[in-house]
Structure 1
Amino acid sequence: MKKTLLTAFIGASALSLHAQTYDFAVSLPDYQGDAGSSVSYGGQIARHALHNSLKKASKSGDLALMESYFSSKAEGLSILDPVSKKGFAIKQSSIDELSKGKDLKSSAYPGTITGWPGNLTGPEVLQQMVTNAANTKGGYDPVNGYDYTQLISKFTMGAVFYNKAVNDYLDEKLEADVKPNDKPYRKGAPYTGKEHVWDEAFGYFGAPINGLELTPKEVVQIVKLNPDYFAKADANKDGVVDLKTEMAFAHAYYAASIDASGKTDYFHTILQAFYDGRSVIQDAKGKVLSAAQREELKGYAKVIGVAWQQVIAEAAFKYAGSVYADLEKIAIIEESNGDVKKAYRNYVKHWGELKGFALSLQAAGRDLGRTQSQLDRLIGFSPVLFGNAQVVAANSKGEFTQSESVTMQEYKLNMLKVQNLLSSHFALTAKLNDRTGGMDDVLEQLKSGPSAEND
């Protein structure tokens, strides 16, 4: 989709009344059950709860606990996050209340992830991260510069939620001969094949059904379980927040947090496209979608895919700026012979967020071309470590090899190049934490030093 078309869509959605709720009546004419709604995506919300809980467990050092939320499909798992707190009651406390038999590993992008050492597939990268996290204190590996909590979380969001939505449900499953609209998704279901496909993609985005009526700030505060925003979260006023319909997760949260800057409207743009696309299916009244209806639906799917990808790129842009700032702080502390331990910890955390989002851009089966290889080289397999080294490889046991790299100060230039690359390739607007104005200063500092790219 051309930038101008997406920009026009964003402008139109921003001006809408935002009065629609993502809930639709049963359209199958021969349905005999008592369901009043045709919307169902409990499995997707279960995976959001698994992701949140895995992130929490990643600091425990308990591999069995982490595996239970990553790959086990076990029954009886408690939700570790989000959980009820004073002034903010959550309806569900177990994964099974959302959906049974779900995991994260089996839904991860199956292709090779070139940005991670070892030439591993998406599930293999996540498995290695989970295994390695269990061998650290609090999910933190200072030797190799890995914050596994951030790496696992950000890459899971991309490899599972983003990938499954845009590369499966909003792509292959929109074809005419896949999940037809004139039949129930399965025998006795109150929804058609196309209705359920679209709803599952919506579930993976992670927005509350009344999201079009909420401001970005309200969405952010709901995710933070701020009691002052409980009334906004509890849309049906039953005294609890239903994770299936009233909570925001993953990229929906990041879209809202970026929009809170006032520069973008990703959250509402994506939700409006989901709502409008679902309305197209609803209007078919349980009949096969016409060619025109499917083309309209694909148009909305493209809007969602482009804006969703931009949200991930905006997040990577922001954290590249954070890494740059961390490196500046480390240099100042070193010059004064201070203790860099805290600054280095922040540097590793922010790098993990940058890397996790950058890897996510690869995890949708969409070739980024030269941009992908440039991101891999500029960011590297690890942050630049003390002694000017970086991780360059990993063996089958997940053990990493380091080699000489650029200096930390040269690596600052890489972060500016990352921001410029993301901004230009993905036509970014918010560009939070933009540090590119300092590029001339960095070049002046480096003067005639070696190239800062990791070739």
Structure 2
Amino acid sequence: MTSIVKRTAALSAAVILATGCKYDFESAFDSGSAVSYSGQTKRHVLIEDLVDEILALPARPVAGNINVASQLNFYFDYDGGTSDGLMHSFAIDGESLLQDGTYGGISSGKNLSGKIAGNDPALINGEFFGWELGMDADPTPEELVDYFFAEVDAEAKSAAINLVTAGGPASITTPYISPEGHDYRQLIQKFLLGAVAFSQGTGDYLMTDFRATNVQEEGQGYTEGGHNWDEAFGYFGAARNYPDYTDTELAQKGGRPEFAGYNDRNGDGVIDLMGEYNFGNSTNCAKRDLGTAGNTNPTDFTTDVFNAFFYGRFALNAAANLGTMGNTEVVLIDAMAKQASVVWEKCISATVVHYINDVIGDMNNFSNGQFADEANFTDLAKHWAEMKGFALGLQFNPRSPFRTGDVQGINLNSLKTALALMGDAPVLPDGTQNGVAYAGGTEQYITDLLEARDILEQAYEFDPENVANW
């Protein structure tokens, strides 16, 4: 049998010339595309619409008869049978979408709760860790989401937060920020990207037995293994022509207007959410690459992760055409699955480092035991929530350096330590965390965050200059 590895080497140049190194693969079974991940796109839209629902809450106090938690659960426990005909709120300013505007027009059924870690797939070693506030003795990711929703409901119905700052009194009416400094909008979004998208992609679909699943799914233009790979790519969130974007464009910090996070690559005048828009962690990779562009050892996460997804899928498509897969091919595909998983995780971890740096910067702006101003408080809440929300997701990848032993001195306890050092709330200017005095106050918390950052630097073998400047 001709090895798929040899065929890959012989055909790679032709494939790249034909596709422009885009995530496009023709079916081995019919005249259509072999690529399909509509359910993953719908879940990204559900997360985006959930965030929009939070942002649309009126200033606190919200009327007591409004069940905010129920409104948020519409998206988490989404019921396609009753809601697929409803219009979603996802939109791109000035652009039309290919999908018809309904949830069912993206994909039928699907929800977030059924795919969260602990429900599907099972928790690794039956364990969820890193957050204690409001949890029972056997916490799950779904329990934490329920807790976050309940807290948003309670905060939204509470009176405004009266804040004393160095610049004078301030009244915080944002309905999703707590007096203790929790920005639940950020906590919810970032946690779901980890506990649903990252968990599903790395802990489920990229862990597939690809040899055993090199068979056509009944009535479909793809193999089971190829479809699983696509679903992982869909959860990563990248557009099919991801390499055509610059990091600046993916980060929506400038560049060509037609590549401002999305691109009508086929010129049909509409944006296809299943291929022409960049969701979720795919943009975090670019932001972190952009943050190292002027450094001695810049990262190229976007290239590394896309190449893994592209070449793994190419090999799977070749196997589908051949109808067989040998040991060498399995090794190649598994290597690409590991690369995709680990680089994806590096993008998340580097983003945690970025927000550790932001939190420390916010704390350095404290003024004589007070917030400098209202923005100092809201910035701290936002940055801390993004830091902790993303960090909680690092536990869901079976190929994580915290689980494999690939990095000397790093194990799962290292991640547990980093999460514990972050705590379940920021330390405020008065030296309290969740209303309790923090031993050593703000200076000690900054020291603890730097220790957590050091753990991440070691685990992912990040360049110290990049870590200091992300």
Q: TM-score range by the shorter chain?
A: 0.7 to 0.9
> Would the aligned equivalents of 1:58 and 1:134 in 2 still touch at CA under 8 Å?
no
Matches within 5 A, 1:92-107: 92=99, 93-107=101-115
Whole-Å separation in 2 of the counterparts to 1:140 and 1:196: 38
1:237 corresponds to which residue? 267
Q: How much does 1:435 deviate?
A: 6.9
> Would the aligned equivalents of 1:320 and 1:351 in 2 still touch at CA under 8 Å?
yes
> Would the aligned equivalents of 2:262 and 2:277 in 1 still touch at CA under 8 Å?
no
Cα 1:293–1:56, aligned 2, differ >3 Å: closer, same or farther? same
Match of 1:136, SS state, is: helix
Residue 65 (structure 1) aligned with residue 84 (structure 2): no
Match of 2:109, SS state, is: coil
Residue 409 (structure 1) aligned with residue 443 (structure 2): yes
Match of 1:274, SS state, is: helix
Runs of 5+ unmatched residues, structure 2: 1-15, 58-67, 157-173, 404-410
> Would the aligned equivalents of 2:261 and 2:277 in 1 still touch at CA under 8 Å?
no
CA distances 1:253-292 after superposition (whole Å, capped 9, x unpaired): 1011112232211112111111111111111215132221
> Would the aligned equivalents of 2:348 and 2:394 in 1 still touch at CA under 8 Å?
yes
Whole-Å separation in 2 of the counterparts to 1:313 and 1:274: 19
Cα 1:429–1:42, aligned 2, differ >3 Å: closer, same or farther? farther
Root mean square deviation, CA, Å: 2.6
Q: How much does 1:354 deviate?
A: 0.5
Whole-Å separation in 2 of the counterparts to 1:329 and 1:318: 17
Matches within 5 A, 1:23-62: 23-28=24-29, 31=30, 35-61=31-57, 62=68
Q: How much does 1:21 deviate?
A: 1.5
Matches within 5 A, 1:8-407: 19-28=20-29, 31=30, 35-61=31-57, 62-73=68-79, 74-81=83-90, 83-86=91-94, 88-92=95-99, 93-110=101-118, 111=123, 112-117=127-132, 118=135, 119-137=138-156, 138-171=174-207, 173-177=208-212, 180-181=213-214, 183-185=215-217, 187-221=218-252, 227=257, 229=259, 233-261=263-291, 262=293, 263-284=298-319, 285=321, 287-330=323-366, 333-334=367-368, 340-365=373-398, 367=403, 368-391=411-434, 402-406=435-439, 407=441
1:395 corresponds to which residue? none
> Would the aligned equivalents of 2:238 and 2:278 in 1 still touch at CA under 8 Å?
yes
Q: How much does 1:338 deviate?
A: 7.2
Q: How much does 1:101 deviate?
A: 0.8
Q: How much does 1:159 deviate?
A: 0.7
Question: What is the count of residue pairs matched by the alignment?
Answer: 395
Cα 1:48–1:388, aligned 2, differ >3 Å: closer, same or farther? same
- Give the TM-score taking structure 2 as reference length: 0.78
Deviates more, 1:267-276 or 1:227-236: 227-236
CA distances 1:347-368 after superposition (whole Å, capped 9, x unpaired): 1110000001110112335534
Runs of 5+ unmatched residues, structure 1: 1-15, 392-401, 437-455
Whole-Å separation in 1 of the counterparts to 2:390 and 2:115: 18
CA distances 1:196-245 after superposition (whole Å, capped 9, x unpaired): 011111111100001122222222229x9984536971100111111111
Amino acid at match of 2:287: S
CA distances 1:37-83 after superposition (whole Å, capped 9, x unpaired): 111000011111111111121234533331111112332343323x0
Amino acid at match of 1:106: G
1:399 corresponds to which residue? none
Amino acid at match of 2:265: A
% identity of equivalent residues: 28
2:9 corresponds to which residue? none
Cα 1:145–1:42, aligned 2, differ >3 Å: closer, same or farther? same
